[in-house]
Structure 1
């Protein structure tokens, strides 16, 4: 297939799945629920924002916080925000949007289930490493653990995320859960997906603010004077907020939800689909 033919095919595919065509097919209930932009450019924008969130977090750690190490020092702590933003925000947000990809609507759902599970599993591994980084630093420096609101929010998000992954894997990818249980759990799974991401946003923003207060309270240029680091970290926090809110917005749009034809995701777990 030539490049021109490939571009035409891709354009025709997204044209067939545009809001107007889907509304004619009866998939979309009302025109008032139409998103302002197609999913493809939205996903590109989200990808750019996600890379910026991770990259700027890493730049903050390298440029202002002293770099990175894995020895219990403050440089080891710097891995904590990078790993948490990468895992709990960007990868988790990407995994939440997997079923919004138009290519998945007319194809078997199994590959997308596996991709969703794999992304969240990688996110979980990064989160565990991020927790190791912060606890090792605290223990070596004799700093108390789990005393701040940031730590409470973060650990709550991680615990819910762990339960979410285990329950989702057991309910939708393994054959022993009955159909009625899958049907009952699915809306709960969807709700907690958005709830966990909201907790992640709160933990990220409070963590940035907490770090700035620790670093700049007794400095020659206090936080209230907005030195360059404060400007940068505040901007990073706003960028993280925008990324998370856009994910939540996309999840809430009925027009971008995968058509639930015959509820195959409820009736067909992994082992049954594989046979």
Structure 2
């Protein structure tokens, strides 16, 4: 069942999403060769609590940490550890926070120092596919329209789209209806309505779309050992159109990136 949010609830969800955005922005300056993912996890937990929120992943389904940290061929759900990041790595950081009883949940894949041109392209295409999918999240469209748009964009670029892991509705619980696959057929699936809030999160592999799971019961990695990228935003439908509640603004500021990629999805949200 899709749980529609009021304008007031969407504003509360924006606060939760922005806590996550600011956490990722803080981490952007800390992701560098020699740092461990466990050190980054500790920084994130402290930052979230200091900003009046609670880590959303810690203890969720018994997950042991604040962040999902997935380097290189790991797709998602990597567990922070004491292994230092190395020059040329990439690291997908997925973060959640709870404030005002609502979840925020989004993700970004960072370069560790200088990375190869082919991996840069993977990150660029995956992030662009996120916005291609968001464009289709509007009243009257369906789940398959978002999935089809992401799948076509990434497969046309020569990459594999993960099938088993999907985006989702978001609210007072981390995972609500509907599931939001990054593949699909246009005109299929549940119809989008005013007040929906979802997490859209393409997961794109440089090689095969196939994945496997480590024995830790959490870590997902590509079946062929090639790199994977993951980007995620929280998005609401307001006045029939998509409004991004999270932002990469703080990451962009930390990394010196100039972009207008989110401008089309920012509206003046009326409060009642």
Give the structure-1-normalised TM-score: 0.29
Q: Which has the higher helix share?
A: 1
